[in-house]
Each structure stands twice: as structure tokens, then as C-alpha cells.
């Protein structure tokens, strides 16, 4: 089968040596050098990458090849009746700049692109390689003015940490080429043929979870806040509230019981009752002292938001240690919530995309106090919705959103159950508040001898 290379790439494939690229890097400012080095390291393994485009919530994968072998068109290229696509992937050695830029990119693209363009989330990764996932968007250009998108992306690539590719249909229509554009630091342009790729065995988002979504040590989470303090003044205030290091993990004198569950499963009701019934101290994570900063961190990308919640657990752990030398302690949410919500958010799609049971992603942080018992309250979704409505915090239009989020809630609940470390017991929270209290008291008696 014959294929004519698309015009824009003909004659541009002079590839400079790695050495000449490094030399060029040395003439750049330090942040630019870092950016260039990161780009080079990503580009050096470009042809081994798999690309994933999210279309209507489902992922379509494609690989790239230097020579044309077979023409199974990836889903992303089959659907729309367009003749041009682009990908914009964010890659930068400064992780804060990377996540902040990515967080703003979709809006930036949608604002700038002409009407009729579509922007879908996409990512690229090296199968099985931890930390290799980079995220961005797949653009379907408007056929009315294709040169507009070209110009926009050429401007973007000049100063911003992005790798841009255009996708052009081969003249015989059988397949498409991916053309990796040169950026500000290189003259490389590479052309590949796109081919369908099967879904990887493990969902690609799991490759970047460690220290991006879930933090397994105090130091790793604190480092993110330290890096953020230049751009987020509140981060400096949170750093001041932190203990100097993770507290000792020795067994507390009195039992520490954590109550976990989705919102409106009855945690507040139960923890208040347990406090009275057991004469226990009641603590929560995030702790009260972080309340003034929570709203601010909830607006940040996952890297920063999750580091904030992770650190909240260490502050609570310190308070727990002190209280547990005097009597039993009840804790409203702790590390299970931090990890389960983070994993469920990071992993798109259905429950089967979650890391398998036994995955290292569900391990308890080695430097965090282990509770004696974790009680996970579960509730039928309809009853939970009824309780939310009765509580007055739900409006009719929000119910639709809740239904839509049902998949997310299923993932949170599964992730909760898969976390290993302290003993975690599931309790059905649908009986009356008194009955739930009695059941949990019995559990505490059996497991904590209290």
C-alpha cells in the first residue's frame, strides 16, 4: 500500500544528536534546562509509548510505529468525520508547574479554539513504568479553519511545557500519522503511524499514584507543601502547624477506633454517641486547626490537595497519641479516606480499573500511627440519598449528580475495603442509629477488649 507523507512534515526530519541537544540546554536558564531535559527524556522513548484518549468516559488506546504494518484504526480516529486531530501533553520536570498547567489547560484550549472543536482528556505512558504517565488533551479540529488550531498550538509550544502532535490522515485513507512537533528546545520532528493498541493489564493512571495522589510517608507529603509555598501562601501556614516529623508508631495505651465511610453514612452521629458511651476523646482528620485552609486546598490539583489531607492525618495522629495515653480515642475519618478517595479519583472508568487487591497502593504508610480498629460504615445508595435529602444538604438537581457519581462511590468503597494495615470491619449502617451504635460497641468489646 502506498502512502504519501503529509506535506507539513516532508523534509523536516533532521534529527540533532542527543549531545547537541544537551549543549543547547546548557545555554538555557536553569528552569528551561530542566524543562528541556525532561522533554528529551520523554521524547527519547517516544515510540515505546501508548496513548489513551477518553471518549464518553471510555478509553481508547493507540500505539505508534515507525513503519506501516497493518491498518487497524484506533477508536479515537474512527469516530469523528474530521481530517485533523492534535494531542497536547503536559511534560515538565517541575511537578507543581506540570499539575498547575494541566489543571488550566482544558479551559485555556476551549476558550481559544474555534467553535466546533472538541477537547477530550488523554494520556500517554510507558507500559509498566512507574511515573511515566503524562496527561493532556486530544483535540478534534474544526474543519472550518484548521490553520487556526495550528497557529494556536505553535504559540503554546513556544513557552509552555507541552508536547504537541498533529495527526494527519494518509492519502489512501487507510491510516493516520502522528507528527511530533519540534518545541522551543529542539528541532526534532518525528513521524509515526498510529495503530490500535489493546487496553493495558493495569490501568495507566495507577502508574503515577505513588507520591502524586497517595503519599506513603510524612516527608513525601511535606515536600509537596514546601514546594507549593511560593505559589500558595496557605501552604506556609500549614507547614507551621506540622509536627517536626512523623510521631512514634508504638502501640497506644488505650484503643484507637477510626470510623470511616462515604458522606451521610452516619459517621458524625456514631462518633458522637461513641464518645459519650465510652467516655472517649473524639478527634477528626483533617483536624480542626486545618479548617481555615481546607477550602483553598480543595481547589488545587490532586498532587497538592492530597498532600494537604495526608499531612492532616499526621497532625491528627499526634493528637491521637497524646489522648490515647489517657483513654480510648474515636477518630472521624483517617488515612482510609485519604487513600480511598485519592485512588478512586485518580483511576477513571469502572471499578475493575482499580488496582487489584494486594496492590502496594493499598498499603498503610509505615510512619503513620495504626489504629486498633477501623469501622467502615456502608449504606444502600438510596438510603444514603434519603439521609442527605433529610439533612437538607441536597437539592433535586444534585441528586442527578449523585447518581452520576455512583461509579465513583463504588470505587471509593472498594478501595476502602482493599486497604491493608489496621483491622477494618464493615458495618451495615442502615439500621437505626441506636442499633448501629450497639453493634459497633459490641465490635469494640470483641476487638479492643474495651
Give dist(CA 17, CA 20) in Å, integer: 5
Residue 166, helix vs strand vs coil: strand
For residue 54, count other CB atoms closer than 10 A to its CB: 17
The reply to whether 337 sits near ligand LCLUPRNS by the rule CB under 6 A is yes
Mask 277-296, x = binds ligand LCLUPRNS (CB under 6 A)?
--------xx----------
Instruction: Return left, alpha or beta for 137; rule: phi > 0 is left, psi -120 to 50 is alpha, else beta.
Output: beta
The reply to whether 123 sits near ligand LCLUPRNS by the rule CB under 6 A is no
Q: Report the candidate in 252, 230, 250 with the shortest Cα–Cα distance to residue 239.
A: 230
Q: Report the candidate in 165, 43, 160 with the shortest Cα–Cα distance to residue 105.
A: 160
Q: Report the candidate in 190, 121, 182, 188 with the shortest Cα–Cα distance to residue 154.
A: 182
The reply to whether 313 sits near ligand LCLUPRNS by the rule CB under 6 A is yes
Give dist(CA 265, CA 390) in Å, integer: 13
Position of cell 465510652?
Answer: 278
> Which entry of ligand LCLUPRNS, ligand ATP, none binds 47, CB below 5 to 8 A by partner kind?
none
Cell of 197: 493498541
Q: Report the candidate in 203, 277, 207, 194 with the shortest Cα–Cα distance to residue 445.
A: 277
| CB nearer ligand LCLUPRNS, residue 263 or residue 367 | 263
> Which entry of ligand ATP, ligand LCLUPRNS, none binds 269, CB below 5 to 8 A by partner kind?
ligand ATP
Mask 254-283, x = binds ligand ATP (CB under 6 A)?
-------x-xxxxxxx--------------
The interface region with ligand LCLUPRNS, picked from 191-199, 275-283, 329-337, 402-410 by CB under 6 A, is 329-337
* Total chain residues near ligand ATP (CB under 6 A): 15
The answer to whether the CB of 55 falls within 8 A of the CB of 107 is no
* Total chain residues near ligand LCLUPRNS (CB under 6 A): 11
Q: Which residues lie below 8 Å from residue 246, measured CB to CB, with a gap of 6+?
A: 217, 218, 219, 314, 317, 367, 368
Beta carbon of residue 301, minimum distance to ligand LCLUPRNS (angstroms, whole number): 14
The interface region with ligand ATP, picked from 136-144, 231-239, 286-294, 425-433 by CB under 6 A, is 425-433
Beta carbon of residue 285, minimum distance to ligand ATP (angstroms, whole number): 12
The reply to whether 312 sits near ligand ATP by the rule CB under 6 A is no
Among 341, 369, 371, 427, binds ligand LCLUPRNS (CB under 6 A): 341
The answer to whether the CB of 46 falls within 8 A of the CB of 180 is yes
Which H or E element spans position 85? strand 84-90
In the complex, which residues of this chain contact ligand ATP (CB under 6 A)? 261, 263-269, 387, 390-391, 429, 432-433, 436
In the complex, which residues of this chain contact ligand LCLUPRNS (CB under 6 A)? 263, 285-286, 309, 312-313, 333-334, 337-338, 341
Amino acid at each position: 500500500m502506498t502512502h504519501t507523507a503529509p506535506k507539513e512534515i516532508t523534509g523536516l526530519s533532521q534529527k540533532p544528536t542527543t549531545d547537541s541537544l544537551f549543549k543547547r540546554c546548557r545555554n538555557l536558564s536553569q528552569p528551561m534546562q530542566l524543562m528541556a531535559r525532561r522533554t528529551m527524556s520523554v521524547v527519547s522513548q517516544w515510540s515505546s509509548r501508548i496513548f489513551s484518549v477518553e471518549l464518553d468516559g471510555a478509553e481508547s488506546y493507540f500505539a505508534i510505529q515507525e513503519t506501516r504494518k497493518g491498518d487497524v484504526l484506533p477508536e479515537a480516529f474512527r469516530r469523528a468525520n474530521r481530517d485533523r486531530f492534535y494531542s497536547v501533553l503536559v511534560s515538565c520536570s517541575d511537578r507543581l508547574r506540570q499539575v498547575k498547567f494541566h489543571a488550566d489547560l482544558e479551559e485555556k484550549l476551549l476558550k481559544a479554539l474555534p467553535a466546533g472543536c472538541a477537547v477530550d482528556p488523554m494520556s500517554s505512558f510507558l507500559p509498566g513504568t512507574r511515573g511515566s504517565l503524562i496527561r493532556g488533551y486530544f483535540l478534534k479540529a474544526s474543519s472550518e479553519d484548521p490553520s487556526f488550531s495550528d497557529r494556536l498550538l505553535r504559540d503554546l509550544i513556544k513557552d509552555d511545557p507541552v508536547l504537541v502532535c498533529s495527526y494527519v490522515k494518509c492519502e489512501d485513507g487507510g491510516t493516520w500519522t502522528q507528527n511530533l512537533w519540534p518545541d522551543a528546545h529542539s528541532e526534532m520532528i518525528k513521524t509515526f503511524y498510529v495503530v490500535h493498541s489493546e487496553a493495558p493489564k493495569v490501568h495507566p493512571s495507577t502508574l503515577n499514584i505513588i507520591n502524586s495522589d497517595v503519599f506513603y510517608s510524612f516527608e513525601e507529603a511535606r515536600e509537596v507543601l514546601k514546594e507549593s509555598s511560593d505559589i500558595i501562601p496557605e501552604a506556609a501556614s500549614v507547614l507551621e502547624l506540622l509536627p517536626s516529623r512523623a510521631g512514634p508508631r508504638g502501640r497506644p495505651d488505650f484503643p484507637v477506633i477510626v470510623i470511616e465511610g462515604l458522606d451521610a453514612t452516619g459517621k458524625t452521629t456514631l462518633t458522637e454517641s461513641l464518645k459519650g458511651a465510652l467516655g472517649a476523646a473524639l478527634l477528626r482528620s483533617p483536624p480542626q486547626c486545618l479548617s481555615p485552609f481546607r477550602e483553598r486546598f480543595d481547589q488545587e490539583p490532586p498532587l497538592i490537595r492530597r498532600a494537604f489531607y495526608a499531612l492532616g492525618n499526621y497532625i491528627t495522629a499526634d493528637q491521637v497519641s497524646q489522648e490515647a495515653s489517657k483513654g480510648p480515642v474515636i477518630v472521624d475519618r483517617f488515612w482510609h479516606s485519604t487513600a480511598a478517595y485519592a485512588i478512586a479519583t485518580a483511576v477513571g472508568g469502572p471499578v475493575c480499573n482499580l488496582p487489584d487487591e494486594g496492590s502496594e497502593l493499598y498499603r498503610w504508610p509505615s510512619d503513620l500511627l495504626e489504629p486498633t480498629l477501623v469501622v467502615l460504615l456502608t449504606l444502600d445508595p438510596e438510603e444514603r440519598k434519603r439521609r442527605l435529602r433529610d439533612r437538607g444538604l441536597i437539592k433535586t438537581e444534585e441528586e442527578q449528580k449523585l447518581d452520576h457519581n455512583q461509579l465513583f462511590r463504588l470505587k471509593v468503597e472498594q478501595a476502602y475495603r482493599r486497604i491493608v494495615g489496621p483491622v477494618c470491619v464493615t458495618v451495615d449502617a442502615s439500621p437505626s442509629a441506636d442499633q448501629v451504635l450497639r453493634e459497633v460497641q459490641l465490635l469494640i468489646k470483641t476487638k479492643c477488649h474495651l
